[in-house]
């Protein structure tokens, strides 16, 4: 794993964003990272933690309000499954869309491009991405290799935040921009039905019936 390059500029407004779709196994990595960060670390008011899900251009106003951006995501880097890779600044848009795994990556690449055109894109960007193990598992949770990277990814984000002058300490960050507790990782994965009663590739109610 590559180490992020240290930055000396201390931004006034920071957005820490987790993106992805928790319904498709490792696609939910970014969302689970931001959830973990909020549950275990107390951050000051100028650091905005947000579950961006798959909202695409709806995230544009939040980027416009930020001087610096940290993004957690599952990214197809073409690396061994479970590998984490750090990408920064101008390279972030290229990696968000070079090998698309789902529509959310195209959408977020468009968000960054639009923010750049409008002159409101954060000056500093850090993408903390992990190569997914499994995506084609509807309703599935994170695979162990992917889940094992949550804590290292959060520590990388915390190190960068501290370089930006943020006072981070153990505790909780209260924010209204996380997913509903009913789909938090523990509740979601523990409540998953057994394979013999739940389809793993989609909603079987809408599959064509064989003659």
List 51's β-bridge partners, or say none: 18
Q: What's the rounded Cα separation, in Å, for the pair 158 and 164?
A: 10
Beta strands in 5-81 (DSSP E): 14-19, 41-42, 47-53, 68-74
Judging by DSSP bridges, how do beta strands 41-42 and 169-170 pair with one another? antiparallel
| The pLDDT value given to residue 38 | 96
Please give the pLDDT value at position 205.
62
Tens of pLDDT along 98-142?
A: 555 555 555 788 888 888 888 888 989 999 999 999 988 888 889
Tell me the three state secondary structure of residue 8.
Answer: coil
For the segment 70-80, what is each residue's pLDDT rounded down to a tens digit? 999 999 888 99
The pair of three-digit structure tokens given for residue 24, joined into one six-digit string: 């498709």
Structure confidence by residue, pLDDT tens digits, 8-32? 578 999 999 999 988 888 999 999 9
Per the CB < 8 A criterion, the answer to whether 51 and 116 are in contact is no
Which DSSP state fits 24? B
């Amino acid at each position: 794993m590559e180490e992020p390059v240290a930055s000396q500029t201390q931004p006034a407004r920071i957005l820490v964003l987790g993106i992805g779709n928790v319904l498709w196994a490792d696609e939910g990595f970014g969302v689970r990272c931001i959830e973990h960060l909020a549950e275990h670390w107390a951050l000051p008011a100028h650091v905005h933690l947000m579950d961006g899900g798959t909202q695409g251009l709806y995230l544009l106003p939040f980027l416009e309000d930020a001087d610096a951006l940290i993004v957690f995501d599952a990214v197809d880097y073409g690396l061994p499954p479970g590998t984490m890779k750090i990408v920064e600044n101008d390279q972030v848009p290229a990696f968000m869309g070079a090998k698309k795994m789902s529509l959310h990556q195209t959408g977020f690449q468009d968000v960054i491009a639009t923010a750049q055109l409008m002159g409101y894109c954060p000056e500093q960007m850090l993408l903390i991405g992990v190569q997914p193990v499994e995506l084609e598992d509807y309703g599935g949770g994170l695979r162990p290799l992917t889940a094992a990277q949550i804590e290292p990814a959060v520590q990388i984000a915390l190190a960068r935040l501290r370089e930006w002058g943020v006072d981070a300490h153990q505790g909780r960050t209260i924010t209204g921009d996380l997913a509903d507790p009913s789909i938090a990782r523990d509740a979601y994965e523990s409540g998953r039905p057994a394979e013999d009663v739940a389809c793993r590739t989609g909603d079987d109610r809408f599959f064509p019936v064989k003659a």
